[in-house]
Each structure stands twice: as structure tokens, then as C-alpha cells.
Structure 1
């Protein structure tokens, strides 16, 4: 009979340090602060030109008024798990999105990226890719063995993003949740620590200046860079 692999020397992972700013070339991730980020995120999420589909698969939103939105941000900012970060555009200083770590389990080395809400100005851009890269890089630097991504199985946009970022599909938990009065089957994805070096290398090469032409178009996709590794 097969036995579980021994982890006799396992010391656990470290918990995220919310005071630590995750610095990238295009974005930085800092602890969500409604006073500092609220006006920007209100414009990004609910203002003219915002993504009308942003809240379709979230358990919250859209928000009919600013007071409800501010209460939502305050609740997020006070939470330790999920642990929320604002995504700030380095060039402009504007907060353009938020995301979080959640289901943080240092004793088991498991952590998840979730509650991903990127404003329209971040979507399908180098900024959104770098934000996820920074979260993944920090997760594994903390000693985690497993990084998770979960979404509604009907959320094709989130599933495509997970696969593009290098998460591997593990299966669907049927009738997993009830969200906004509807059934949610949940698709599960993960990256393991042993897989991260290859995935990381592709991120680094994709984010490099020489991967983009003079019009800002990518020369090589993330998936192609992983396959070439």
C-alpha cells in the first residue's frame, strides 16, 4: 500500500506580512486602505467605462451607492483572511484593482489568490499579469507548498486567466456553494512549489521589455514561454 510522502522536517510556511509592499515595475500591491484607495476604486469599479460584468460571479456587488461600496471596502480592509491588497499603478499612483490571499494555512503550506477585481484599465494588460505574478512570487517565498485559484465553473474569463497564469486544473466541486441565490459549481486550480520555478521563469520572460514590440504587443505568450522552458 502506498504511503504519504514524509514531511518529517516540515516547519510550515510564514504568514503574509500585510505591512510589506510588493513592488513591481508596473504595479505595486499594498494593504487595502479605504481612505487612500476608495475614490480610485469607486471610479474603477462603478464609474463611467467600468466593466459591467465585473461582479457577475462575485458573491457581492454591484453597489448602488458609494456608502455601500465604502462599507464593503472597510470590511475588506479589516479582514485578516481574506487579506486584501490594492493594486496601484506605479506610473500614476492610482489604485486600479484589488485582490487577496485567502484560506491561508501556514501549517499546511496552502494559500489561495482570490477576490480578484481589476478595473477595466487593468484588464488584459501587463499590469494584471504582474499583479498575479507578485502575489504568486510572495506566496512561494513565504514557503507555501501549494497556491490555489478557484472560481465559478461558469466563469470562463476566470478559468482562462488561471490557465494562462500557469495554474493546473484539478476538477470541479459540484454544488459547492449558493451565491446570490444560484448554484455554484467551483473549478479548482493550483500551482505546486515544485512547478513554480518553470512557471516563474515564464512570468519573468513575459514581463521583460524585449517581449513587447514598439506597439506594446507581446511577442511570446505565457503558455509558449512555459512550453519552451
Structure 2
């Protein structure tokens, strides 16, 4: 309560601001996140996306699908030049091939808020340890290296796989913003999810347990599911 007997938020002692993301490489056991470089990554990325049986991966994205390498390369050049969103290529640790992209976006260092988005993982990455580890690498970077207070995930409210992924990774659903956007000529109601720095230690422990080599058999298959709650 303040001096006027009004309820107010908890103090945030010593808070000033968080730095903008600047890392060019975040490395893990299964994958690395490398700042998107069209000349290094675009050929692999387009090949991985083009090898899918259909274009369903692009349904809920504001961009794509790309009908030619040239059109994808042009998009990747613009994405690589963008400071916000800051795009990363997910590269496989074993092969070095780029198999997907994701970004840190909507940077709000003054309030310690940042979002992960523009996630396009090729079908090669579906249900792989690399896809999960990539999310962990970004989370750890945001909370521990940069000191952010809030990490957001947003998606079309009709995108059920994205909603399930957010909850599996430890994000909490906070509500839906109705008629938030128009993209590809249609309405988007946006589902909001977030993870805070207070929740991060428990989520980190769950990830570390899941990523432990003992959790995978000789074929690289998980023994136990990721349990962030």
C-alpha cells in the first residue's frame, strides 16, 4: 500500500534496464543458434523447408511460403539486416546444417521484456532434442546473460501446435487479444503466453533434467518427457 492506502506493485529494487541482445552464437550439445547469415544459411534452410510434403509450416506465419530459392534468399537478407526481430539460424551440431530459424523480437529493455517468435522449424527438426534445446538456449541467454524479467510467446489463437509447444516449454497462458492483427488477408486473435524470471529457475531445472544424456537412449529418443510444471 502507498501513502494514499492504494495497492501498488511490488518494488523492483535496483532495476535500471536490460541490454539489447547482441550474441552472435549460442551453443548447445545438439544444436547452435547462429545469427542468420544468408550466404551461410539460406541454401540449407531453403532445402530443408522445400523438402516438406506440403506448406503447412507457413500457415500461421506472416511470411512464406517461398516458391523459389531467390525469394527465400531475399527474405533472409532483409531478416539478417533487422536488429528487431533479431533472427537466428538453428544449426544441427552433428552436421552443421541450418534447419530452422527463430528470433528475439519486440525488445523492451527498459522494462525487461522480450519475445521469442518468427519460429520456423523444418520438418527435419520435429520432435528432436535440438528443437527443444534451441528454446532453452534462448531462454537462458535472456534471463541469465541479459537479465530480462519477462519472456513472451505469442501466436494465432487457432495455432494449436504452437499453443501446446508454449505450455510444454514452461510458458503460462495469459489471455487472448481479439482481432489483434490482420495477416495474409485474414483476422488473427493472438494468444499470449509468458515466462517470468521468478519462474525461470524451476523451468531451467526441468530443461536440464530433460537434456541430460541419461534421458536419451542409444537411438537419441527421450526416456522421459519434458516436465516444466
TM range, smaller chain? over 0.9
Per-residue CA shift, 1:100-151, capped at 9, x if unaligned? 0001111110010000011111111101000000010101021000000000
The CA deviation at 1:212 is: 1.8
Match 2:166 to one of 153, 159, 162: 162
Number of residue equivalences: 223
Structure 1 contact 51–120 (Cα < 8 Å) conserved: no
Q: Output the TM-score relative to the length of structure 2.
A: 0.94
Stretch moving more, 195-204 or 214-223:
214-223
Q: Secondary structure at the match of 1:134?
A: helix
1:3 matches 2:8: yes
Q: Which residue of structure 1 aligns with residue 107 of structure 2?
A: 104
Q: Which residue of structure 2 aligns with residue 114 of structure 1?
A: 117
Distance 2:191 2:17 in 1: 26
Match 2:69 to one of 66, 73, 84: 66
Q: Which residue of structure 1 aligns with residue 30 of structure 2?
A: 26
Q: Which residue of structure 1 aligns with residue 20 of structure 2?
A: 15
Q: Secondary structure at the match of 2:153?
A: strand
Distance 1:40 1:63 in 2: 14
| Gaps in structure 1 of 5+ consecutive residues | none
Q: Secondary structure at the match of 2:58?
A: coil
Per-residue CA shift, 1:157-186, capped at 9, x if unaligned? 100100000100000000000010100000
Per-residue CA shift, 1:28-52, capped at 9, x if unaligned? 0111000000100010112x33562
The CA deviation at 1:12 is: 1.4
- RMSD over equivalenced CA pairs, Å: 1.2
Q: Which residue of structure 1 aligns with residue 3 of structure 2?
A: none
Q: Secondary structure at the match of 2:107?
A: strand
Distance 1:8 1:135 in 2: 25
Match 2:56 to one of 53, 71, 78: 53
1:218 matches 2:222: yes
Structure 1 contact 29–85 (Cα < 8 Å) conserved: yes
Distance 2:47 2:221 in 1: 27
| Gaps in structure 2 of 5+ consecutive residues | 1-5
Q: Secondary structure at the match of 1:206?
A: helix
1:93 matches 2:96: yes
Q: Secondary structure at the match of 2:176?
A: strand
Q: Output the TM-score relative to the length of structure 1.
A: 0.94
